[in-house]
Structures are given as structure tokens and as C-alpha cells.
Amino acid sequence: MDWISISSAAWLGILTAISPCPLASNVAAISFIGRQLHSKTAILGSGLLYTTGRTLTYVVLGALMASGLLASGEISRFLQRYLNELLGPLLIILGMILLNMIGGSISINMAGEGIQRKAQQHGTLYAFPLGVLFALSFCPVSAGLFFGGLVPLAAGANSAVMLPLIYGIGTAVPVVVFAFLIAFGSQWLGTAFNSLNKIEFFVRHATGIIFILVGIYYSLAYVYGIMLFT
């Protein structure tokens, strides 16, 4: 494995992140990572877990394809066909939980805590499954770049783990950096004007609304075939 392969993998990842087709999910990820304004650790932790979720998904996919357990064409078509359709309803439900519209009284563990309270208190951990979910939701461009660009590159360089890992980091870094900039900017603004609680309340609610809007967009585009932006 040489530097050309490494930089190509990183560039393919960055291209995936900045291409227009996964823009909606990136906006949702940015708002989710940057929503806990009160704590720098929580924002950094969310960013790190989101990156880990994405990266791990690409590494597992890359390893499964390299070992011959999965054919790239089959898995690409399967994920493009089903995952994006699942993503719309799922994001709407997640948005509703974040807005406390549902889940206030639903317990997901023995201690009896509501999903919404858990999401608010331990929300950082949810960045990991979000990273996994968004990594699996391939749009035409990201599918082309991963299955058509990264996988052959990794096979040629005999690197089933390292190049998918670099690609995964490349897909997450622009999103995480943007989330940090917005979060720290909002935090600075809140501190400067002594209204951090108000801004945090607004950002938390905005995250829920963004999740619902992105979910509706995904449902319309992928399930009903209604294109809003073409």
C-alpha cells in the first residue's frame, strides 16, 4: 500500500461527504453532533463516535467483500434498494423522540427511563448507530465511489481494512468539522450574550425538526419516487 492509494482513499471519502446526494443525511448528522452545546466533551464524543460508526461499517463491508463473503454488486444493489427506504420512517421517528412527541413514557431498559430522556442524557452514544446507519444508506454517488472506486482500489492494494478505514474517516471528517464549527460558534454566541440555555433549547429542537424534515424528504424520494430537487 502506497501513499497514492492512501490519499486516493481519503479523497474518495471526502468526495462522498461533499457530493450533493448525501447532503440531507449530512445535515441531520451535523445537527445531531452539534446539539449538546453545554459540553465540549459531548460534542467531541459525538463526533468521534459518529466517525467510528461510519468507519467501522466501511471496514466490515470491505472485509466481507475482500473475503468473498459478499459480492459488491449484490450488496450495493441491496443496500441502495432497501436501506434508504427504511431511513425515511426511521428518521421521522427519531426526530419525534428528540422533540418528545413520542417515547416519553416508553422504557427501553429495566430502570424504566424514557427513550427521550435517555436520548437527551446519553445522546452522545447514539452518534455511533447514526454513523452506521448513514454509512449504509448509499445514494447513487456514494455507492459509485465506495463500491466502484474504493473497493477496487482496496482490492488492488491488498488492503481490506486500512483503505476502507481511511475512506470512512474521509466521509466523516467534513461533517464533524462543520458540526464543531457550528456548535462552538453557537456556544461562543450563547456565552457572549449570556443566553446559552436559550440557544441550546433552540438547537435541540432544531435537530428534531431537521430529522423529521430529512425523514420526509427520504420517504418522498426513495419510497414514493417524488424528486424535490432535480
Partner 1 sequence: MPDRKKLQKLISNLLIAFVLITIGFSLGKHSVLNRMTADAATVSASNSSLPDIKKAVKIFYMHSTFRCVTCSAAETLALDLVDKEFAEARKTQTLLWENVNFQENAALAKKFDVIATCMVIATVENDQIIDFVRLDDILTLSDKPEEFNAYVRNAVSKELGKMAGS
- The binder of partner 1 chosen from 34, 62, 88, 164 (CB under 8 A): 88
How far is 131 from 172, CA to CA, in rounded Å? 8
- The binder of partner 1 chosen from 14, 39, 48, 85 (CB under 8 A): 85
Per CB under 8 A, which region of 58-66, 116-124, 138-146, 185-193 contacts partner 1?
Answer: 138-146
| Residue 125 interacts with partner 1 (CB under 8 A): yes or no | no
Consecutive H or E run containing 182? helix 162-192
Of 48 and 223, nearer to partner 1 (C-beta) is: 223
Nearest to 29, CA basis, from 8, 19, 43, 15: 43
| Residue 230 interacts with partner 1 (CB under 8 A): yes or no | yes
Q: Count the helix, strand and coil residues of the chain and give each as a percent rounded to the nearest 5.
A: 75, 0, 20
Put residue 109 in one of left, alpha, beta given phi > 0 → left and psi -120 to 50 → alpha: beta
- The binder of partner 1 chosen from 1, 6, 96, 162 (CB under 8 A): 96
- The binder of partner 1 chosen from 8, 25, 76, 124 (CB under 8 A): 76
- The binder of partner 1 chosen from 37, 115, 139, 203 (CB under 8 A): 139
| Residue 144 interacts with partner 1 (CB under 8 A): yes or no | yes
| Residue 104 interacts with partner 1 (CB under 8 A): yes or no | no
x-or-dash string of contact with partner 1, 5-34, rule CB under 8 A: ----------x---xxx-------------
Cβ neighbourhood burial of 227 (10 Å; 0-12, 13-18, 19+): exposed
Report yes or no: 150 and 167 within 8 Å, Cβ to Cβ.
yes
Give the angle 90-93-96 at the CA atoms, nearest 5°.
150
| Residue 149 interacts with partner 1 (CB under 8 A): yes or no | yes
Put residue 158 in one of left, alpha, beta given phi > 0 → left and psi -120 to 50 → alpha: left
- For the CB of residue 72, give the shortest distance to partner 1 in the complex, in Å: 6
Of 55 and 84, nearer to partner 1 (C-beta) is: 84
CB atoms under 10 Å from CB of 220, counted, come to: 14
Helices (H), 19-126: 23-33, 40-66, 72-98, 115-121
**Which residues form the interface with partner 1 (CB under 8 A)?**
15, 19-21, 71-73, 76-77, 80-82, 84-85, 88-89, 92-93, 96, 101-102, 138-141, 143-145, 147-149, 212, 216, 219, 221-225, 227, 229-230
